[in-house]
Structure 1
Amino acid sequence: MNSSNNTVWHRATITRTHRERLNTHHALVLWFTGFSGSGKSTLAHAVEDRLYHMNCRTFVLDGDNVRQGLCSDLGFSVQDRSENIRRIGEAAKLLVESGVIAMTAFISPFRTDRQRARGIFPHGDFIEIFCDASLDVCEQRDVKGLYRRARAGEVKEFTGISSPYEAPLNPELSIPTGEWPIEDCVDRVIDYLRQRNVFSGESDGG
């Protein structure tokens, strides 16, 4: 029997709206996606640093870190990748409910998985950010030496080499992380959040 059949969602006295008012900013998730080496983690943490100095409550869910804990039981098959993203989506949703600006830095290579993650958030709370760096640029960076090992057949199911990456078709933001300096990339994200009135200090009841 599915355990969810025996549970009921408990409605808290203190809601997301209360937390957003306390934090004086809206909560949402910034979902950074792109090839390994495209700058997802670098950009997410740089954005978090900027937001921290703007007195915002934030948290970054980083791919490598989550793979060592929450998703340490998963491999890199299509099925395991999908489950990895499902768990991350649910974790990010809890962070958003807590009033936090959550950021996720995951390759999340499949559109269906990203769309499924988007679907669990209220409309407008899921901001897909495509870290647009070509495979050539990412291989040249190859900070972890993974592309070299993948080319040599030492790493299986590696995105861009032996496993596909499906780029977003209509992301909220597409940032040329393969070309722009990191500060310009951060400015673009912050400008977008300002356009969305995330820092207005007013809650829309989300």
Structure 2
Amino acid sequence: MEKNIIAHSYKIDVGKRRTLSGHNSLLIFFTGLSGSGKSTLANALEQRLYQDDVKTYVLDGDNVRKGINSDLTFKPEDRSENLRRIAEVSKLFIDAGVVTLAAFVAPYEKDREFIKQTVRPDNYIEVFVNTSLEVCEQRDVKGLYAKARKGEIKNMTGISAPYEAPKNPDVEVSNEYGIEESIDIIYNKIKNQIRLKNE
């Protein structure tokens, strides 16, 4: 079947779309435990970029699982497939000239590396939201940790499934910082990469 699939070459490419948008396109990937603040930070960063007239879109773990990935469970192989699809969707958004923000637990190093290679390393910024398990459990905004402790949820990252913390993230923030301070740290790291190279 694959031999019959031939990618079509279009006249408008990512370079022209970036020029039209007035900025570079890339993936800003937030990873951390459930309740660490990934979605909150992605939302706040998008608002900051919006003020700069940057075209953005947020891919959020829960939202995506209600749609394109609604057929997947939280078993390790389904977690990997969840992220494989996110990598491909992110690649399309980057090609469209959009700065894409993704907020996913993404507990396995191999899956995060796959995403990085799929969108290309120069289009990938990894943000590690390094919030301790203790703090995440105290927040437990979704009640997931309480259910996991009772055995009602299996494969819960941090409880019954591992989280492999990034060894060399591009940016690291923690619960020691407030939201505004975290956004300043992230924004100052990425702002030069969002500018077009010919500016």
SS in 1 for 2:122: coil
Letter of the structure 2 residue corresponding to residue 114 of structure 1: R
User: In the superposition, relative to structure 1, how do residues 19 and 203 fare at CA in structure 2: closer, same or farther (>3 Å)?
Assistant: farther
Q: Offset at 1:113?
A: 0.6
For 1:20-169, what aligned pairs fall within 5 Å after superposition? 20-169=18-167
Find the residue that maps to 2:121 and give its secondary structure. coil
Task: Supply the distance in 2 between the matched residues of 1:127 and 1:77 (Cα, whole angstroms).
Answer: 26
Q: Which amino acid aligns with 1:45?
A: N
SS of 2:186 mapped into structure 1: helix
Q: Contact (CA 8 Å) 1:21, 1:202: kept in 2 or not?
A: no
State the partner residue of 1:184.
Answer: 181
Please list every run of 5 or more consecutive structure 1 residues that lacks an aligned counterpart in the other structure: none
1:103 is matched by which residue type in structure 2? Answer: L
Secondary structure, counterpart of 1:175 in structure 2: strand
One-letter amino acid matched to 2:15: T
Which segment is superposed worse, 83-92 or 178-187? Answer: 178-187
Deviation larger for 115-124 or 161-170: 115-124
Structure-2 separation of matches of 1:24 and 1:54? 11
Q: How far off its partner does 1:179 sit?
A: 1.5
Listed one character per residue, the Cα deviations across residues 110-147 of structure 1 (whole Å, up to 9, x for unaligned) are 00011111111233111111001000010011001110
* Structure-1-length-normalised TM-score: 0.93
Letter in 2 for 1:71: N
3-state SS of 1:113 partner: helix
1:11 corresponds to 2:3: no
The 2-side partners of 1:105 and 1:21 are apart by 26
* Matched residue type, 2:58: V
Higher fraction of helix? 2
Give the superposition deviation at 1:31. 0.6
Partner amino acid, structure 2, of 1:109: P
* Contact 2:90–2:119 under 8 Å retained in 1: no
Change beyond 3 A, Cα 1:31–1:11: same
The structural deviation recorded for 1:203 is 5.4
Flag the 1:26–1:170 CA change in 2: closer, same or farther, 3 A: same
Equivalent residues, number: 199
What's the secondary structure of 2:24's corresponding residue? coil
- The AA in structure 1 aligned to 2:168 is N
Q: CA deviation at 1:174?
A: 0.9
Q: Is the 8 A contact 1:150 1:161 kept in 2?
A: yes
Q: Which runs of 5+ in 2 are unaligned?
A: none
Q: Alignment partner of 1:120: what SS?
A: helix
Per-residue CA distance 1:85-111 (angstroms, 9 max, x = gap)? 000010001000000000110000000
**Is the Cα–Cα contact under 8 Å of residues 20 and 203 in structure 1 kept in the other structure?**
no
SS of structure 2 residue aligned to 1:85 = helix
TM-score norm. by structure 2 comes to: 0.96
